[in-house]
Structure 1
Amino acid sequence: MNRSLVFDSPFLLGFDHTRSLIERAAKAAAESYPPYNVEDRGDGALRITLAVAGFTPDQLQVTVEDDRQLVVAGKREGGSEEAYLHRGIAARGFIRTFVLADGMKVDGAVLAHGLLHIDLIRPEPERLVQRIPIKTAG
């Protein structure tokens, strides 16, 4: 991926993690399976819905890595013995990632009718004020 000149400015100090997040988001956007929706549920809450027809809850895993990356993985065990004349329903495993904003938390996940719903919330942050003591020189 090309390096963005915006983050090379001498006025933006300590933003290496932001560059890393943008690169991860671009990589995640290039993935196409399984298809998904992201729904705004108001008050900072979101719902991600993935089409995972044919997967059981035991074959799916939802994890959060480093408080920043939501990872949804589906694994299929072995090959099936059926002889298909046409196979249009994907039977492959997948890993789908989403980069989470600061403060986003996973509230739960539900599998219903071939759709995996993952609810995200953003609790109100505590308002912190830090007083910096001023020292005198000498």
Structure 2
Amino acid sequence: MNTIDLTPLYRSSIGFDRLASMLDNALRGDTGTGGYPPYNIEATGENRYSITIAVAGFTEDDLDIQIERGVLTVRGKKSDDEKDRNYLYQGIAARSFERKFNLAEHVEVVDAELSNGLLNIQLVKEIPEAMKPRSIEIKRGTALEHKK
């Protein structure tokens, strides 16, 4: 496996540590989850997004959603009452999982809902007023008077 040396990026930039870490993680690949559970990410409007994760068999109590340092983490852990069941065939996966999503700056989770085996997480990007582009008025200068 080839690796890319990100040292020059760290050396010549300030505040981009998280970006470099994201690149490094992306280049290593997401081998931990094996594609389980499947999910969709969609744009639902201007600055609005939705993540839908297929979590059939999980209840609200089995799921945990957290945000830390710009990373949204969704974990699922089945309760122990499933151990008493005697399955003849078990085609619905019920194993524990952890899914991580890197969020851009100013993206916030506004809602999460579990319905029909799908966990829907609503996100919105709210740019602070101070960071929005604004026009600066240019005033007409007055001629300077020469003092004699």
Give the TM-score normalised by structure 1. Answer: 0.79
Give 3-state SS (helix, strand or coil) of 1:127's partner: helix
Q: Does 1:45 align with 2:56?
A: no
In terms of fraction of residues, the more helix-rich structure is 2
Indicate the SS of the match to 2:67: strand
- Matched with 1:133 is none
Are the structure 2 counterparts of residues 93 and 9 from structure 1 closer, same or farther at C-alpha, using a change threshold of 3 Å? Answer: closer
Unaligned runs of 5+ in 1: 130-138
Q: 1:97 aligns with which of 74, 95, 100?
A: 100
Aligned residue for 1:63? Answer: 66
State the one-letter code of the partner of 2:4.
S
Specify the alignment match of 2:4 in structure 1. Answer: 4
Distance in 2 (CA, whole Å) between partners of 1:10 and 1:56 is 43
> Corresponding residue for 1:134?
none
RMSD across aligned positions (CA)? 2.5
Give 1:36's aligned residue.
Answer: 39
1:108–1:119 CA contact under 8 A, matched in 2? yes
Higher mean Cα deviation, 109-118 or 26-35?
26-35
Task: Name the residue aligned to 2:77.
Answer: 75
Larger Rg: 2
Aligned match of 2:141: none
* Structure 2 residue 110 is matched with structure 1 residue 107: yes
Secondary structure of the structure 1 residue equivalent to 2:90: coil
Cα contact 1:53–1:114 (8 A) shared by 2: yes
2:37–2:54 CA contact under 8 A, matched in 1: yes
Distance in 2, matches of 1:56 and 1:27, equals 32
Of all paired residues, the percent bearing the same amino acid is 39
Preserved contact between residue 25 and residue 99 of structure 1 (Cα < 8 Å): no
- For each residue in 1:2-23, what CA deviation from the matched residue of structure 2 results, as whole angstroms up to 9, or x when unmatched? 5534662588412332111223
| Structure 1 residues 110 and 26: CA distance shift in structure 2, 3 A | farther
Are 1:22 and 2:33 matched, yes or no?
Answer: no
Q: How many residues align?
A: 128
User: Aligned equivalents of 1:126 and 1:48: distance in 2?
Assistant: 26
Stretches of structure 2 that go unaligned for 5 or more consecutive residues are 134-148
